[in-house]
Amino acid sequence: MTAHFDLRNVRSAPIGYFVHHQGRGHAERCAALVQALPQSRPVTIFCARDDIFPALPPNARVERIPSLFEPTGEEHHADWVATPETLHCAPLGWPGIRTAMGRIAGWFAEADPALMICDVSAEVAQLARICSVPHVKVLQHGLRDDPGHRAAYDGAAGLLVPCDARLAQPDWTPAMRAKSCFAGGLGVTMAQPDRETARARLGVPKDARLIVVQSGGGGSGFASAPIAVGARAVPDATWITIGTVARDWHATEPANLRHDGWVENAADYLAAADLVVASTGNTTCHQILAAGRPWLAVPEWRYFDEQVEKARALDAAGVATWRPHMPSSAQAWRHALDIATATHDPVRQGSMLRPDAARHAATWIESLCARLREGTPHAVTIHGD
């Protein structure tokens, strides 16, 4: 059964959006989704940083709140009181957390929002539910079958999943999948530079073999020692790292390895590469899938093994070859790179991304808002665009 009605009268209700400020993926997919929403829909974004967002439309504003996990020195710790299993990051005696949650709860009372999107915090999702505000929980990979995550997922009106459905984890239940919107490519630009132009920009010869090592922005990056072992194991290739690299004092780095650090033109490096060694953060994954390059996926440490489970899913879907850590010898490096090259399927990689991911997610959000306002559990056909 499908409900039909005009949405113009419900599109003025605001949407709230909590954005975690670790890494870049949360802010990038927020900006993409907000850009695709109707301009008549006000959006208030709650985040501990206001400088990590791409361009936002006039109907969106960022309200900066204290971090939910970074101490200020004003805390009165009471860690001897046990944290219940339904919560993850809820230390006692933190005034910053009280301020942040109080601001969000106050906005709930004043704005009467249509929806709260949580990307990501199980506590903020549960706060919305306690305050009688429907929420959409962003569903990420990882071992998240604990009571806290399950409460946030079970109580959500919908789950927004920033990946293709073929990358779903086996433990995502039928109930979770039934209320999920899969949006592979959300927040990532699909347009890619051509290989020759990219190499010219980077100063890499046309006929050189190029291996790019990329780490994300949400942690301390890869260690330099194993990368140096890899570069020595494949001396006929140029190796370039981008992103954060933790420099090991004992790393004996060869001349074919260079570190370019944090760059704004990662797409050039991926387009120029013959093979990519990279972690499995959201933005990194989508960038590599868009570039369609052979990929050795090596997860960085994240809470709940997020990158480990993402790497497993990528491997199972046939779009990357994964290893639990960097290869530790020359032989292991050559073996891993050979497998990544032999199993490469650029067509399958590209199929993981929707060019209309933002519009797809925005239409789903609008339909959900209408269902919640009208009190119908059924799908909605949207009129009044």
Mean predicted confidence (pLDDT) in 100-122: 98
Sign of CA dihedral 47, 42, 34, 368: positive
Helix (H, G, I), strand (E, B) or coil at 2: strand
The Cα 261–Cα 235 span in angstroms is 21
Average pLDDT over residues 79-106: 96
pLDDT higher than 80, residue 383 = no
For residues 219 and 49, which has the higher predicted lDDT (pLDDT)? 49
In this structure, of 17-26, 48-57, 114-123, the range with the lowest mean pLDDT score is: 17-26
Please tell me the distance from the alpha carbon of residue 44 to that of residue 327, in angstroms, as a whole number. Answer: 44
* Residue 3 predicted with pLDDT over 90: no
Q: What average pLDDT is seen over the chain?
A: 94
Average pLDDT on 17-42 reads 94
Give the pLDDT mean for 235-240. Answer: 98
Query: In angstroms, rounded to a whole number, what is the distance separating the alpha carbons of residues 267 and 264?
Result: 8
User: Does the pLDDT value for residue 4 go beyond 70?
Assistant: no
Q: What is the mean pLDDT of residues 93-97?
A: 97
pLDDT > 80? residue 290: yes
Residue 87: what are its φ and ψ, rounded to 5°?
-125, 155
Q: What is the pLDDT of residue 24?
A: 81
For residue 287, the SS3 value is: helix
> What beta strand segments (E) does 144-236 contain?
158-161, 180-182, 209-214, 222-223
Structural domains in the chain, CATH included, are: 2-188+354-383 (3.40.50.2000), 195-350 (3.40.50.2000)
Strands 237-242, 257-259: parallel, antiparallel or unpaired by DSSP? parallel
Determine the residue type at 78. A
Return d(Cα 102, Cα 91) in angstroms, integer: 15
- Give the whole-angstrom CA distance, residue 313 versus residue 203: 35
Query: Quick one: average pLDDT of 125-145?
Result: 98
List, for residues 246-271, the tens digit of each pLDDT value. 999 999 999 999 999 999 999 999 99
Nearest of 369, 354, 349, 238 to residue 291 by alpha carbon: 349
User: What number is the average pLDDT over the span 153-169?
Assistant: 98
Segment 105-113 long-range contacts (CB within 8 Å, at least 24 positions apart): 105/131, 107/16, 107/44, 107/46, 107/63, 108/16, 108/133, 111/14, 111/16, 111/44, 112/13, 112/14, 113/13, 113/14, 113/15, 113/16, 113/44
Other CB atoms within a 10 A radius of the CB of residue 124 amount to 24
Percent of the chain with pLDDT over 90: 89
pLDDT for 374 = 86
* Rounded Cα distance, 366 and 383, in Å: 11
* pLDDT at 12 > cutoff 90: no
With both helix axes pointing from N to C terminus, report the angle between 25-36 and 282-291 in degrees, rounded to the nearest 10: 70
More reliable by pLDDT, 380 or 182 = 182
Whether residue 1 is predicted with pLDDT greater than 60 in this model: the reply is no
Confidence of residue 346 (pLDDT cuts 50, 70, 90): very high
Question: Which pLDDT band holds residue 109 (cuts at 50, 70, 90)?
Answer: very high
Burial bucket for residue 279 (CB in 10 Å: 0-12, 13-18, 19+)? buried
**Residue matched to tokens 């939910």:** 68
Kindly tell me if the per-residue pLDDT of 307 is higher than 80: yes
Q: How far is CA 349 from the centre of its chain?
A: 17
Average pLDDT of the segment spanning 48-65: 96
- pLDDT, tens digit (0-9, with 9 covering 90-100), for 370-381: 999 888 776 655
Confidence of residue 216 (pLDDT cuts 50, 70, 90): confident
Distance (Å, whole) CA 73 – CA 66:
13
Identify the DSSP state of 82. P
7-12 contacts at long range (C-beta below 8 A, 24 or more positions apart): 7/366, 7/370, 7/380, 7/382, 7/383, 7/384, 8/40, 8/384, 10/114, 10/369, 10/370, 10/373, 10/374, 11/38, 11/40, 11/41, 11/366, 11/369, 11/384, 12/40, 12/41, 12/42
Cβ burial of 212 (10 Å; 0-12, 13-18, 19+) is buried
Per-residue CA distances from 17 to 100, 134, 229, 230 (Å)? 13, 12, 44, 42
Q: Which of 3-17, 124-138, 203-217, 314-328 has the lowest mean pLDDT?
A: 3-17
Rounded to whole angstroms, the Cα distance separating 162 from 171 reads 17
